[in-house]
Amino acid sequence: MDSTQIIITLIGIGLIAFIVKYFFFWKEAATTATSVNDKIQEVDVTVKGGYTPSTIQTSVGKLLRLRFYRDETASCSEEVVFGDFSIRKELPAFQTTVIEIKPEKAGTYEFTCGMGMMHGKLVVV
Ligand SMILES: [Cu+2]
């Protein structure tokens, strides 16, 4: 191989690595809730065809304040459900709805829209 071929090969490998990372790991990147004080953590979630961020990491025994901003009118996202915490709440369009949860046990807890089509999860550590 001459130097041009080597460079092209390296660029190709770089692109493949980027694509693999983007598709397989991007969505798994957890957002850690921000500590307001030593008892409360907070996170902003945008609701638009899904939840952004969709994976939220928080701490056991702290009050987690989720601030859902629903940036659409699509009926799919009009409710959010935290089955493990017996929470089902309406999210009015273009408003912020606050949901407070205090996880007492470590684990992964899923949340979904009212129909179970959109998914997110709380990772409690
Ligand atoms: Cu839905």
pLDDT tens digits along 62-75: 999 999 999 999 99
Burial class (CB in 10 A: 0-12, 13-18, 19+), 87: middle
Least confident of 10-19, 26-35, 93-102, 110-119: 10-19
pLDDT at 19 over 60: no
Report how far ligand 1's centroid is from the alpha carbon of 21 (Å). 28
Distance 77 CA to ligand 1 centre (A): 5
- Ligand 1 centre distance from Cα of residue 20 (Å): 28
CA of 56 to the centre of ligand 1 (A): 19
Q: Which residues, other chains included, contact 90 with Cβ-Cβ below 8 Å and sequence gap of 6+?
A: 78, 79, 97
Output the CA 74–ligand 1 centroid distance in Å: 9
pTM for the whole structure: 0.78
Q: What percent of the chain has a predicted confidence (pLDDT) above 90? A: 76
Predicted local distance difference test score (pLDDT) of residue 16: 59
CA of 120 to the centre of ligand 1 (A): 12
Two tokens at 66? 């989720």
Cα of 55 from ligand 1 centre, angstroms: 18
Are the C-beta atoms of residues 86 and 72 closer than 8 Å to each other?
no
